[in-house]
Structure 1
Amino acid sequence: MLGSISFNQSHQSSLSHNNRENIHGNPGINPARLDQNIYFIQKDIRSVYKDVFQEAVDKYNEKQKRNDRKIKDYYDKIRKDTKTHEQRELVVAL
């Protein structure tokens, strides 16, 4: 049986698109097969940032003498940064 694999990497994502909740205008999506989708990781990005980086942010903030240098919300800081993307998305389709 012939098949194909496609990869897409991006720094933007749309959960409703990825979950195929928004299937309007896309005839290539077969709603009968949606229950076959496999989700490896699907978490709120803010909570992931907190779980992964909060300890390091707390240590950084303890060392800062000036309040204006302390990081209040690391996710917001990265999101507003023009040189860094807050996420990478990799979609593999078989």
Structure 2
Amino acid sequence: MRKYKISDDTVSEILKLADFFDAKVVVRRCEEFLMNTSKESLKFKFPLAIKNKLAELKKKCFSEMTKSTNFKDLIPDDSTDFDTEVWKEFFSKAISFI
């Protein structure tokens, strides 16, 4: 059996397919990749965490937000991409630096 590696270039597409096929193991491997190996920025990882309900990655993203984080870059174009709880967490984190 051939093994394919997850990369920063493929992870978002793999997550889409994993969701479509309800492949929980693949989703978990993508989350592990994003948390431990990926060189992508918070701007890339945070929306993936929210969209794909990656709880551990979301937690890590929130913990990596600092006073110098550009919170405007993390706000989605469509406000419904974040549910109420995510908005609460997001604004709480943002105002904690004021």
The two structures have a TM-score, normalised by structure 1, of 0.29
Greater relative contact order (Cα < 8 A, sep 6+): 1
Q: Which has the larger radius of gyration?
A: 1
Which has a greater percent of strand?
Answer: 1
